[in-house]
Structure 1
Amino acid sequence: MVTDLYSLPAVQIIGDPLDETLEKVVETIQFFIFCFTLPFYIFVIYHLLDAQLRGVEDLSTPFFKLCVTTAIVDIWTLLNNYLGAMFPKWGWGTRIYLFLDGYYAHTYLYFAWTSGICQAMCISVLATNRLSAIIFPNRHHHIWSTQRLRIAYAIQFLPGMMAGMATLFDKTQLYRNSKNGVIPKFRNEALVTYFFLIAGAFLTVVCIYLIFAYCYLLFVLRRNTKMIKNSAFQKSRNQIKKKEMKLFIMSSITVAIQIAALCLYVSYATSILVISLDKFYLLYNAISDLYAGINPYLLWIFSDSLRKYILIRIGFRKKKKGPSSSVLTVVVH
């Protein structure tokens, strides 16, 4: 337990110091987005769970069930970023963090590394779900049966939780920044480099898989669109084109964020990007917030079924008879 903030070693600034005005503007924008995104994410997932409990068919597919577990990881990541990094960095609740000392540092760093891998696994499992719908259209529902879905849940969580345990073998140290805030850090710099290299290699594999998966998915959707040549099906063809474009945009956004995270990890680990710890935290938290907070907006934009269900439940739209369609759950044969 640390009782005096000024007894902590100061953060060593490598390279040019970060412009305080820029840092304040970026972090203020981040915080306001976080304050809106967190309740909005909970709001969307609450209604998604409500729909599943009510047996709404369009929203009870394995894809949307996987979206719920992905949301758990995302919300957990957002909370860890702010409770473990941003708030202590700003000097909020400093006495609490000093009192917790190593327990706080280990907990934050464990979940920071764990959540990054869990997020990558969640995206990979969702991509696999979409791929199986294309490659095995007749067996898709059997492959993602309730019992086998538990395996998918385990893949989303267990690899990250197990990999994060490596952080428990390194000692931690709290550092004091220029704002009289607290920053947790590993003592063994060489071990941290290995952590970054391992994370970079893992993210590289995930990125390659995602790129190939979504490229193949887009190829199949285009091929199936061209097969509809009869003018009588022109309306259906236009609908497929719209779904194709929405899916492509959604996947492109996800892959772009994943690649950005990969570039940051690899460049920092290999010293290509030589920046101060404050600059790295600024970039890391911005990308992490974007990665964790974008999914509710993608669900709202690209899932017609979920959006309509929520609007009906909150009374902004009247319920209409007839099945609704969802962009995200469509299975193309």
Structure 2
Amino acid sequence: MFYQIFTVGIIVDVISLVNNYFGCVFPAKGWFWDFYLSMGTFVGQMYLMIAWTARGIQGCTVVALALNRATAVCLPIKHKQIWNNKYISLLHVFQLGIGFCIGSSLITQSFYWKFERNGFYIQFYNKDFRRRFFMAAYVIETIFVALIMIINLTMVVAFKTKYRMRLTSQPHLNQKVMNEKQRQEYNLSIVAGLTCVAEIIYYLYVIYVFGINTSVPTRVFYLLYDVINDIYCGLSGWLLLIYSRSMRAHVTKMIRCPMFGFRRMRIMIPAEQQFSSATNIDANKNTSNRRVPTCGTPC
């Protein structure tokens, strides 16, 4: 289940990046304006619909992966039972549903291109709807960030508590094993911290432009949004490659032999040994890793 959620998240990140350049960056630079003009506001409207749909899916993906990882740390015995449940596939309804609801709300709206500083930016025609829509986005983003921080803090506290208890109750553990557990805890803390930082930065930006200062110049708004969006979409993949040895090994195999790597995706050794494996002594009981904004557990 972890890799299913992870794959959906990566695909959405890539779509969001491509959409951001074709629907926002290129018009802002004044590139291909003849094409955009010939299409009316269709391209701009599609850009906004895809961007907001992707943002909703990204938020839900982070929450789902955070839950996956947290259950591996807090409930290691029941973790596989929970995530192998026949109804767990309904999680994809949550992962995709909220985003599609947000994006589809823009279908009936009217838009126009605004010229500013030699660039063109798509704008809402109905200002009242724009205000309500941005306020709803602020509320949803608040919920996402609150859930992510609560889940991650709970997971980190549980991880540290179990680790310390094991130190006092099983002092005979091999020093090599203890060093490995310390490394896993360190990796977990870094990934969780960077994930929370990325979410908080995005959240603060949403608060500022949608709540505190709604009169930010269009060019500045889109410039900051483009930068944050690019970093956010690219962060997850790099964190996974940096801190997951099993994922690095898998990517290396795919580079050497793409078809072999693709066939091995479903039977690849879970990245569960990377982070919360310290919650169990035996390697065959390990469970955790993630995609990022919040490490999850392959299941």
TM-score norm. by structure 1 comes to: 0.74
The residue that corresponds to 1:276 in the other structure is: 217
For residue 270 of structure 1, give the secondary structure of its aligned residue in structure 2.
Answer: helix
Match of 1:192 among 101, 117, 130: 130
User: How far apart, CA to CA, are the structure 1 residues paired with 2:92 and 2:4?
Assistant: 10
Mapped contact 1:197–1:266 kept (Cα < 8 A):
no
**2:140 pairs with 1:202:** yes
TM-score norm. by structure 2 comes to: 0.82
Match of 1:266 among 207, 213, 224: 207
Q: How does 1:1-333 map to 2 (within 5 A)?
A: 62-145=1-84, 147-179=86-118, 181-229=119-167, 230-272=171-213, 274-315=215-256, 326-328=273-275, 330=277, 332-333=279-280
For residue 169 of structure 1, give the secondary structure of its aligned residue in structure 2.
Answer: coil
The residue that corresponds to 2:261 in the other structure is: none
For residue 210 of structure 1, give the secondary structure of its aligned residue in structure 2.
Answer: helix
Give 1:171 deviation, angstroms.
Answer: 1.0
User: How far apart, CA to CA, are the structure 1 residues paired with 2:254 and 2:110?
Assistant: 50
Relative to 1, partners in 2 of residues 1:324 and 1:150: Cα closer, same or farther, differing over 3 Å? closer
Mapped contact 2:114–2:123 kept (Cα < 8 A):
yes
User: How far apart, CA to CA, are the structure 1 residues paired with 2:272 and 2:225?
Assistant: 37
User: How far apart, CA to CA, are the structure 2 residues paired with 1:324 and 1:63?
Assistant: 10
Give 1:176 deviation, angstroms.
Answer: 2.0
Give 1:246 deviation, angstroms.
Answer: 1.1
User: How far apart, CA to CA, are the structure 1 residues paired with 2:207 and 2:108?
Assistant: 22
User: How far apart, CA to CA, are the structure 1 residues paired with 2:127 and 2:275?
Assistant: 43
Relative to 1, partners in 2 of residues 1:323 and 1:203: Cα closer, same or farther, differing over 3 Å? closer
Mark the runs of 5 or more structure 2 residues left unpaired by the alignment.
258-268, 281-299
Give 1:225 deviation, angstroms.
Answer: 1.5
Mapped contact 1:171–1:186 kept (Cα < 8 A):
yes
**Percent of pairs identical after alignment?**
25
User: How far apart, CA to CA, are the structure 2 residues paired with 1:255 and 1:195?
Assistant: 25
Query: What does the per-residue CA deviation read over 1:93-130, in whole Å, with 9 as the maximum and x for residues that have no partner?
Result: 11111111122122111111111111111100000111
Give 1:330 deviation, angstroms.
Answer: 3.5
Mapped contact 1:203–1:258 kept (Cα < 8 A):
no
Relative to 1, partners in 2 of residues 1:279 and 1:239: Cα closer, same or farther, differing over 3 Å? same
Mapped contact 1:200–1:265 kept (Cα < 8 A):
yes
The residue that corresponds to 1:20 in the other structure is: none
Mapped contact 1:214–1:251 kept (Cα < 8 A):
yes
